[in-house]
Amino acid sequence: MKRFHVHLNVQDLEASIAFYSKLFDATPARVEADYAKWMLSDPPVNFAVSTRGGAPGVDHMGLQAETAEELVELKKRAHAADLELLDEGPANCCYAQSDKHWITDPQGVAWEHFHTLATIPTYGESRQKPEAGGACCASVPARDRKTDMPVAKACC
C-alpha cells in the first residue's frame, strides 16, 4: 500500500501542531523542534509540517512506498509518462533514511516518491550537497538553464 505524502512549510509550529492534531483527531507520530509528522491511517497519509522551508504553504507532495518494489513501480510509471526524473537514491532527509526520486508536475510542483528505510535522530542532509535554506526534502523544480533538466537544490 502506498501512502499519500504532503509537506507544508509553517511559520508557527506549535499552533500548527495544535490545529492539525485537532483536525486529524490524532497526535503526531514524531515531533522535533522544527518538524512534526502524522502517519494517518484514515485517510492513509504521511502529513508533515516544518519551519525549515521558505514561504508558508505546500512545499511538496509525494507518494510513500511501503516496499522497495512499490518504489520501482512508481519509477516505471514516471518513465512511462515521459516525466523527467531526478533519482536521489539513498538520502537522509526529514529525520528519516529513504530511497527516493523526484518528478515535477506541469505547474512546477515537486513530487517525491520514496521508500523509508529507517528513522534517524537528526534532521538529515542529502548525499547531494544541499544549498543554504529550504525545507526538508525541498522542492526540486529548479531547472538548469542550458539543459532545462531538473536540478536538486535543497533536498534536505
Q: Which domains does the chain have, with CATH numbers?
A: 3-119 (3.10.180.10)
Full-model pTM: 0.69
The burial class, CB within 10 Å (0-12 / 13-18 / 19+), for 135 is: buried
The model's pLDDT over 59-95, given as tens digits with 9 standing for 90+, comes to 899 999 999 999 999 999 888 877 788 998 888 888 8
**CA quadruple 39, 27, 57, 139: dihedral sign:** negative
Segment 2-21 shows an average pLDDT of 92
Which residues make beta-bridge pairs with 150? 143
Segment 99-120 shows an average pLDDT of 88
